[in-house]
Structure 1
């Protein structure tokens, strides 16, 4: 498992592995409570666009 960090103005703060698993945190997402960016050890924030499925209201 890659080490993840919360990006703050004072620097990156490491996130405990148990917290990463509990909240299913990933690089490129935001923390669930403070909405701060989650980055890797180099400070990279790669946000992957998730393709939304389009559904029709007609059958």
Structure 2
């Protein structure tokens, strides 16, 4: 889970809203689904070598 933003990049809820331990555990295997800066749902593409996620406001993140 990305903790530098205001929002959880897996569930989309505020990072200050309770524990996100299950989100952090799931993010080990999954790509992010929400932009941690603006909470928008991202376009995610998974390929055999990794993943990329694109926010219309903040651009692309990839592994």
TM range (shorter): 0.3 to 0.5
For the pair shown, the structure with the greater C-alpha radius of gyration is 1
* Higher RCO (C-alpha 8 Å, min separation 6): 1
